[in-house]
Amino acid sequence: MNLIGKKIVVTGGSGFLGSQIVKMLQEKGISDIIVPRSIDCDLRIPENCSKITKGADIVFHTAGNVGGIGYNKEHPASVFYDNIMMDTLMIEESRKNKVEKFIAIGTVCSYPKFVDVPFSEEQIWSGYPEETNASYGLSKKMMLVQSESYRQEYNFNSIVLVQTNLYGPGDNFDPNTSHVIPALIKKIHDAKNSNISEIEIWGDGTPSRDFLYVDDAARAAILAAERYEKSEPINIGSGNEVTIKELAEILIKLMNVKSQVVWNKQKPNGQPRRCLSIEKARREIGFEPQVRLEEGLKRTIEWYELLQDSSGKTSIN
């Protein structure tokens, strides 16, 4: 599908992933882009979803209520409700308004807690998600059901991208809602600035994750919009697995910190292992990650430290 000349809606378009999608669409010469803001467009309300999709050709749905392990444990009900309402209504109103194509952004949290690594798309229904992420993972997983059902009954063209953990400049560094990479960067940065000798990290460091630089994720979403036409899920990840312990060691080295890591084993580890197979993405849309983890971390650290220097603050929302 050629996106040039299309009217495109990007929900969450001012957020971490959505803003990069908007930027890349603009770089392709697309100017008719609608970015609804949550402050005046609550996507849990049908009328709002109908209003923003009326006359639209393409919808990238990146909006969501999401946070790290602590946030998900504290707010499982609101995470479930907010996401399932936004996702369901956005697909339904897009269908009603005859949107040509709907690109739904799913999550690696939808995969079962215990599954062969790397995760292949065929395994997504083989078990229950890891408990601390279940409300988020299952709410997003329902987009797969809705997408396939709507294709069967209405011939509605929707696709679901199952994305891994994203990171990069512009990430959320709020300690109450951030994911592991920004959380660790902030902790290490604060320890360095305050001469703190110990850095506490949740769990025991053994869980593994698959981290994808946000620019690569945005590029994959656009490639899928142009080239993928099926309701079956398609994984978007780096294809590489790194433990939290290894991640912490890389960050400490890059940030030149002498503090010692203390693992708080009373806190949850989360899912034991996560790494997505991206063979299908390579085959179907020609996706290949371009930014290696260490390079992406350097860019993220530089962005965060520059922001701290310019603002005089130690954290951002």
Is 179 flagged in the annotation as binding? yes
In a domain, 23, yes or no: yes
SS3 category, 146: helix
Four-residue CA torsion sign, 141, 145, 146, 147: positive
Task: Note the pLDDT tens digit of each residue in 211-238.
Answer: 999 999 999 999 999 999 999 999 999 9
> 215 is written with which tokens?
């620019």
- Binding residue per annotation — 186? no
> pLDDT tens for residues 83-119?
999 999 999 999 999 999 999 999 999 999 999 999 9
The values of phi and psi at residue 316, to 5°, are -135, 165
- pLDDT of 316: 37
Residue 235, classed as helix, strand or coil, is strand
Residue 178 DSSP SS3: coil
Full domain range(s) for residue 290: 8-313
Q: What is the pLDDT of residue 312?
A: 58
C-alpha to C-alpha distance for 219 and 212, rounded to whole angstroms: 11
Find out whether 211 is annotated in a ligand binding site: no
Residue 1 lies in a domain: no
Q: Is 136 designated active site? A: yes
| pTM attached to this predicted model | 0.94
Helices 293-311 + 180-194 axis angle, to 10: 50
How many separate domains does the chain show?
1
**What rounded mean pLDDT belongs to the chain?**
94
Are the CB atoms for 271 and 130 separated by under 8 Å? yes
Minimum mean pLDDT among 96-110, 184-198, 271-285: which range?
184-198
User: Do the domain assignments include residue 78?
Assistant: yes
Q: Establish whether 16 is an annotated binding residue.
A: yes
Q: Does the annotation place 96 within a ligand binding site?
A: no
| CATH number of 287's domain | 3.40.50.720
Tell me phi and psi for residue 112, to 5 degrees: -60, 155
Catalytic residue among 111, 136, 150, 304: 136
- Is residue 113 within 8 A of residue 105, CB to CB? The reply is no
Helix (H) or strand (E) holding 167: strand 165-167
What lies within 8 Å, CB to CB, of 226 at 6+ separation is 1, 2, 3, 285
Domain assignment present for 2:
no
The answer on whether 15 is annotated among ligand-binding residues is yes
DSSP string of 214-226? Answer: HHHHHHHHHHHHH
Task: Identify whether 105 is part of a domain.
Answer: yes
Q: Chain-centre distance of CA 11, in angstroms?
A: 13
**3 falls within a domain:** no
CB atoms within 10 A of CB 229: 12
Report whether pLDDT(272) > 80: yes
Q: 170 a known binding residue? A: no
Q: Which of 159, 163, 166 is nearest to 59 (CA)?
A: 159
- Are the beta carbons of 43 and 66 closer than 8 angstroms? no
